[in-house]
Amino acid sequence: MERLRKKQRIKHYLKEQEPEVLDVIKTNPHLEMYIGNINHGLSLPEYYETLNRGMADIEEPNLIYNVGEGVFIHVFPGDKRTIYHPVEPELTKHVQESIEEVMKRLTILISSDMAPKTSKEHIELFDKLLDRIIPNSSNMFSKFLPTMKGVSPAVKERIRYYFIRDKIGLGVLQPLILDTFIEDISCNGLTPIFIEHKIFKSLQSTIEFANMAALDRFVLSLTERSGRPATHSAPIVDAVLPDGSRLNAIYGRDLSKKGSNFTIRKVSETPLSISQLVSFRGLTAEIAAYIWMALDNGMSMFIVGETASGKTTLLNACLAFIHPTAKIVSIEDTPEVLPPHINWAREVTRPASAGSAVDTFDLLKAGLRQRPNYIIIGEIRGAEGNTAFQAIQTGHPVISTFHAGTVKSLINRLTGEPINIPPHFIKFLDLAIIQNAVHTADGKLLRRLISANELVGYSQRTGNYSFVELASWDAKTDTHNFLKSSHILENKIAPRRGIKRKDIKILYKEHKTKTLIIEGMIKFGVMHWDDVWELLQNYKLKKKLPDNIAKFVTEGLRGWK
The residue ranges of every structural domain in the chain are 1-37, 278-485
Bin 92: left if φ > 0, else alpha if -120 < ψ < 50, else beta.
beta
Q: Smallest Cα–Cα separation from 81: which of 189, 196, 211?
A: 196
Q: Smallest Cα–Cα separation from 208: which of 35, 84, 33?
A: 84
Q: What integer pLDDT is reported at residue 469 of this predicted model?
A: 95
Between these two residues, 120 and 440, which has the higher pLDDT value?
A: 120
What is the 3-state secondary structure of 483-505? CCCCHHHHHHHHHHCCCCHHHCH
Sign of CA dihedral 117, 120, 123, 125: negative
Give the H/E segment covering residue 451.
Answer: strand 445-459
Q: What integer pLDDT is reported at residue 2 of this predicted model?
A: 63
The Cα 173–Cα 161 span in angstroms is: 13
Q: What integer pLDDT is reported at residue 209 of this predicted model?
A: 93
Residue 559 has pLDDT above 50, yes or no: no
- What tens digit of pLDDT does each residue of 186-232 get? 999 989 999 999 999 899 999 999 999 999 999 999 999 888 889 88
Burial class (CB in 10 A: 0-12, 13-18, 19+), 7: exposed
Bridge pairing between strands 236-240 and 246-250: antiparallel
Cite the beta strand spans of 134-280 per DSSP E.
Answer: 182-187, 194-197, 201-205, 236-240, 246-250, 261-265
CA angle 359, 361, 362 (to 5 degrees): 70
Q: Which residues of 510-531 are buried (b: 16+ CB within 10 A; e: fewer)?
A: bbebbbbbbbbbbebebbbbee
- What tens digit of pLDDT does each residue of 339-349 get? 888 899 999 88
Q: What integer pLDDT is reported at residue 382 of this predicted model?
A: 83
Mean pLDDT of the chain: 85
Q: Smallest Cα–Cα separation from 236: which of 261, 209, 200?
A: 261
Name the phi and psi angles at 523, rounded to 5.
Answer: -60, -40
pLDDT band at 63 (very low <50, low <70, confident <90, very high): very high
Percent of the chain with pLDDT over 90: 39
Write the CB contacts of 437 (distance below 8 Å, at least 6 apart in sequence): 306, 308, 309, 310, 445, 446, 447
Residue 112 has pLDDT above 80, yes or no: no
Bin 171: left if φ > 0, else alpha if -120 < ψ < 50, else beta.
left
Region 108-114 average pLDDT: 77
Is residue 241 within 8 A of residue 119, CB to CB? The reply is: no
Least confident range of 216-225, 458-467, 540-549: 540-549
Helices (runs of H) and strands (runs of E) counted in the chain: 19, 19
Write the CB contacts of 287 (distance below 8 Å, at least 6 apart in sequence): 449, 452, 471, 480, 482
| Matching CATH number, 278-485, of 3.20.20.210, 3.10.20.30, 3.40.50.300, 3.40.50.10330 | 3.40.50.300
The Cα 464–Cα 262 span in angstroms is: 42
Name the phi and psi angles at 440, rounded to 5.
Answer: -80, 175
Find the largest Cα–Cα distance for the chain: 90
Hey, which residues does 84 pair with through a beta bridge? Answer: 75, 205
- What tens digit of pLDDT does each residue of 228-248 get? 889 888 899 888 888 888 899
The Cα 399–Cα 418 span in angstroms is: 20
Least confident range of 43-57, 141-155, 256-270, 275-289: 141-155
Region 421-428 average pLDDT: 89
Q: What is the DSSP letter of 350?
A: B
C-alpha pair distances (Å), 541 with each of 98, 162, 185, 544: 55, 48, 46, 8
Q: What integer pLDDT is reported at residue 432 of this predicted model?
A: 96
Between these two residues, 74 and 476, which has the higher pLDDT value?
A: 74
Write the CB contacts of 66 (distance below 8 Å, at least 6 apart in sequence): 24, 48, 49, 50, 72
pLDDT band at 458 (very low <50, low <70, confident <90, very high): confident
pTM of the model: 0.79
Other Cβ atoms less than 10 A from the Cβ of 202: the count is 14
Q: What is the DSSP letter of 166?
A: I
Q: Which residues of 31-60 are buried (b: 16+ CB within 10 A; e: fewer)?
A: bbebbbebeeeeebbebbeebeeeebeeee
Cite the beta strand spans of 9-60 per DSSP E.
Answer: 46-48
Residue 546 has pLDDT above 70, yes or no: no
The Cα 375–Cα 300 span in angstroms is: 9
The Cα 59–Cα 383 span in angstroms is: 48
Residue 137 has pLDDT above 70, yes or no: no
Is residue 287 within 8 A of residue 314, CB to CB? The reply is: no
Between these two residues, 136 and 51, which has the higher pLDDT value?
A: 51
Q: What is the DSSP letter of 424?
A: G
Q: What integer pLDDT is reported at residue 243 of this predicted model?
A: 80
- What tens digit of pLDDT does each residue of 157-184 get? 898 999 999 888 899 999 999 999 999 9
Region 382-397 average pLDDT: 86
